[in-house]
């Protein structure tokens, strides 16, 4: 597969996708163009990956099979105005912009073939979780292209209803931040009881990585895996009791509901 891909915005997520695409051989260097208003960013991308760069979004999309929108939400209106009328019907637009709905993108670009993706930051090391949906005009072959691009950054899941994108935003999109906060808290607690910081960090890191891999490989319900660690009257039971008293599960639920509400409001479908 050698697609021609234009990246509008070569920041963190744009670069992660660019790297994955090159790494998996989905597009050659010559078939990629990155457009960014930031000169330092253009120089860095060109130096690191040897792909063409430009400060003209219109020039970048010319002849591309896939146009990736990887700019911040606040820059979307300008970019849509710039690209409106510039896209051919066969070109696919893939947006990773948080909160930008398919209807907004299709209307703003005057274009039908649009895909909306909610990726997450572990995509930067090929361990991402991308949840995506497509407008009705997206062809089956284009969906395959999307699956291969997103699959290069980790796992991808297609959903046929856009409401799941707002839910994914609250779970997998924001999820790494919840995990990092938990990890930070565990490191601080470990230091508090007397462990040297670097030792604490290593223990926490491997515990989280190992537990996630174990859960994935064993396929057992999470509650069963938790019970395996929890001997009656033991140390883990004591710790879990404290977490329960502090309503840990209820708090996580409230946090996810709050993130979901916010995602719906940002996208214009909240109350």
Question: Which positions touch ligand NAP (CB under 6 A)?
Answer: 8-14, 35-38, 41, 57, 70-73, 75, 78-79, 96-98, 118-121, 173
d(CA 8, CA 5): 10
d(CA 261, CA 62): 38
Residue closer to ligand NAP (CB basis): 13 or 138 = 13
Residue closer to ligand NAP (CB basis): 75 or 230 = 75
Residue closer to ligand NAP (CB basis): 36 or 204 = 36
Q: Provide the minimum distance between the beta carbon of 165 and ligand NAP in the complex, in angstroms, as a whole number.
A: 11
Q: Provide the minimum distance between the beta carbon of 214 and ligand NAP in the complex, in angstroms, as a whole number.
A: 26
Closest-CA residue to 45 (of 4, 16, 15, 24):
15
Q: Provide the minimum distance between the beta carbon of 178 and ligand NAP in the complex, in angstroms, as a whole number.
A: 13
Non-local (6+) Cβ contacts of 157 within 8 A are 129, 130, 131, 132
Residue closer to ligand NAP (CB basis): 65 or 82 = 82
d(CA 34, CA 16): 12
Residue closer to ligand NAP (CB basis): 154 or 173 = 173
Q: Provide the minimum distance between the beta carbon of 154 and ligand NAP in the complex, in angstroms, as a whole number.
A: 12
Closest-CA residue to 150 (of 130, 120, 165):
130
- Give the pair of three-digit tokens for residue 245: 């008293």
Query: In sequence order, which ranges of 152-221 are alpha helices (DSSP H)?
Result: 163-168, 175-192, 197-218
Q: Provide the minimum distance between the beta carbon of 253 and ligand NAP in the complex, in angstroms, as a whole number.
A: 22
């Amino acid at each position: 597969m050698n697609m021609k891909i234009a990246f509008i915005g070569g920041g963190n997520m744009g670069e992660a996708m660019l790297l994955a695409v090159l790494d998996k051989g989905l597009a050659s260097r010559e078939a990629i163009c990155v457009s960014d208003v930031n000169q330092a960013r253009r120089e860095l991308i060109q130096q690191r990956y040897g792909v063409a760069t430009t400060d003209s979004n219109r020039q970048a999309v010319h002849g591309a099979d896939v146009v990736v929108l990887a700019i911040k939400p606040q820059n979307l209106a300008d970019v849509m105005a710039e690209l409106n009328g510039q896209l051919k019907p066969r070109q696919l637009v893939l947006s990773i912009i948080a909160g930008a709905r398919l209807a907004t993108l299709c209307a703003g670009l005057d274009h039908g073939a649009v895909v909306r993706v909610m990726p997450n930051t572990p995509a930067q090391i090929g361990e991402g979780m991308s949840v995506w949906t497509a407008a009705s005009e997206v062809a089956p072959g284009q969906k395959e292209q999307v699956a291969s691009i997103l699959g290069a950054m980790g796992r991808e899941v297609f959903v046929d209803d856009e409401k799941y994108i707002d839910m994914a935003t609250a779970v997998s999109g924001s999820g790494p931040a919840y995990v990092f906060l938990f990890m930070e808290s565990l490191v601080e607690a470990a230091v508090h009881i007397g462990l040297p910081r670097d030792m604490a960090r290593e223990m926490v890191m491997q515990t989280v990585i190992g537990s996630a891999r174990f859960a994935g490989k064993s396929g057992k319900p999470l509650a069963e895996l938790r019970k395996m660690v929890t001997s009656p009257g033991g140390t883990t039971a004591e710790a879990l009791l404290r977490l329960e008293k502090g309503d840990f599960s209820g708090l996580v639920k409230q946090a996810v509901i709050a993130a979901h509400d916010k995602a719906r409001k940002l996208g214009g479908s909240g109350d």
